[in-house]
A and B are shown apart, each in its own frame.
Chain A
Amino acid sequence: MDYALHLAIITCIYIILSVSLDLIAGYTGILSLAHAAFYGIGAYTTALVAVHLRLPFVWCLAVSLVAAMALGGIVSAPALRIRGDYLVIATFGFQVIFYHALSNWTDFTGGPMGVFGIPQPTVLGYTVTSRSGFLLLTVWLTGICVWACRRLAKAPFGRVLQGIREDEIFTLALGKSISTYKVKVTVIGAVMAAVAGALYASYISFIDPTSFSIMESILILAIVIIGGAGTIWGPALGACLLVTVPELLRFIGIPAAIAPNLRQILYGGLLMGFAIWRPQGLLGRYAFR
């Protein structure tokens, strides 16, 4: 039972990560490999604020969101000048620089040792100590994020995002300031990923840079593509499947030491397979462009 709760919490965290990336990559067409950086800044900000300032969860979250907005703004800058695969490389670059900052800025972030002893979150005076309590908090925040992404996608805002993805010049000629939209969607995606990071840090109570590497970014993107980019529900489904299925490997006797590698092989293989045979993913209508 405890294990099922744990699985549910991790699944929810990845749902938030994947639907927020879907807005950026699936709807706007900015294939971002920097999402783990947004995840990481949420986690680290929450961790550091909670450990050093001992503030309730809502304040940790608030500071994390501000940090994520700033990082989102910075990361969106290249998208205003370059497109396509070069933009992917630029986001890759940001991700790598962020990871090295986490690993090397030892005085601030604890370096490779990470941050430990993150206290359990305090919400409205009540400290969440049980796993089921944490699941409740997580499901609530996940629901808000998914709802927000869905509303943005269905609104005229989402129409403009898709216009940017399909034909930027056409959308520009229709009077839309595409730069503004690119910055907005990146910031929104970053903020949501930071929420996921805040939850993760508070749940695991110990974080280190390896959870927020380029590999993590690739895996989140893989979930979006496999689930179906540009649908919100697709990446959510992708997160459910890709978080739970590798865990089931444990039950068929795979030793714990090689499980992480196998999990990554599964993700990589599925990403490759879907890219070749079903680029629209499980629930998508059109192939990702």
Chain B
Amino acid sequence: MTSLLEVSEVSKSFDGVVAVDGMSMTLCERRITSIIGPNGSGKTTLLNLIGGFVFPDRGDILLRGQRISGMRPYRIAALGVARTFQNLRLLRRATLIDNVLLAFQHQAGEGVFCALTGWKTRREEKASQATARELLAFVGLEGKAYELAGSLSYGQQKLVTLACCLAMEADLLLLDEPVAGIDPEMSRHILELLAQLRQEGKTILLIEHDLEAVKAVSDTVIVLDEGRKIAEGRPDKVMRDPVVVEAYLT
């Protein structure tokens, strides 16, 4: 059970308000870890800290032993960390396939020279298109590949962002509320996909409010309250913990 991500005594405050307070956790590979907690408990801030969108005041974050706290988001992403956003960020005026194509890493055509001359790009673009269609098929959206992302339903848009994460060939997926606001059938579909991704070797850290979903798919649950970890362990054990129950009900 190798550890992929290590968060060590990380703290972050915004204008004097403490968002995350001395948080430590270890993510093991090929595991799905869920973070739950009341609103304002620091969950999204934690994801932002890991992703590099926010720098910690104190503490370290290590990815495979390499210090990533303080790195810009695009460099952390290039190391194999993909994320989705709570307010569902994607390119609504682009097609699904363009969204996924954007997510591929180190495309030769992203450089000016190759873009102008076509060196390496033609072959690469064909291969990328094929892979993008496969990824859309994996999430069940192949039929809509050439439609605009903005025309899809909320749940389908979430699937697109998942496909983008996969296009990044990331080992670590940070998913912010992947099934929030979605009907039960779509929710089940997404959770099945996550389980399948775990089988394929991905490590997933997700934030959720839907406790049934969390129980169904997680190996480990971490509970945050006011920026601090108050419980960690298997889902059924954690959810019966009186400390957790009190935090959620008060």
Q: Report A's interface with B, CB cutoff 8 A.
A: 148, 151-152, 155-160, 162-163, 166-167, 169-178, 184, 188, 286
Contacts and interface: CB of A to CB of B under 8 A. Distances in A.
Contact of B85 (A148, A155, A173): A173
Given A155-B114, A156-B107, A156-B121, A162 B91 contact: yes
Contacts, number: 88
B72 interface: yes
A184 B85 contact: no
A155 B121 contact: yes
A156 B101 contact: yes
Contacts of B104: 156
B227 interface: no
Interface in B207-249: none
Interface residues of B, number: 37
B67 interface: no
Nearest to A171: B102
B125 interface: yes
Interface string B100-126: 011111011111101110100100010
Contacts of A170: 85, 89-91
B73 interface: yes
B74 interface: yes
B164 interface: yes
Nearest to A155: B115
A177 B74 contact: yes
A167 to B, nearest CB: 5
A11 B15 CA distance: 54
A174 B103 contact: yes
Interface of B: 51, 53, 72-75, 77-78, 82-83, 85, 89-94, 98, 101-105, 107-112, 114-116, 118, 121, 125, 164, 168
A159 B31 CA distance: 33
A178 B98 CA distance: 17
Give the dominant DSSP class at A's interface. Answer: helix
Contacts of A159: 98, 101-102, 110
7 contacts: A151-B115, A156-B107, A157-B110, A157-B115, A162-B91, A170-B89, A173-B85
A173 B90 contact: no
Nearest to B108: A156
Nearest to A176: B74
Given A152-B116, A156-B125, A170-B91, A177 B72 contact: yes
Given A156-B107, A166-B93, A167-B90, A174 B102 contact: yes
B91 A166 contact: yes
B74 A175 contact: yes
For the complex of A and B, 9 pairs with smallest distance between CB atoms: A155-B115, A175-B77, A156-B109, A170-B89, A157-B115, A155-B109, A156-B107, A166-B91, A175-B78
A167 B91 contact: yes
- Indicate the member of B53, B103, B105, B118 with the most A CB atoms within 10 Å: B103
B18 to A, nearest CB: 24
B89 A167 contact: yes
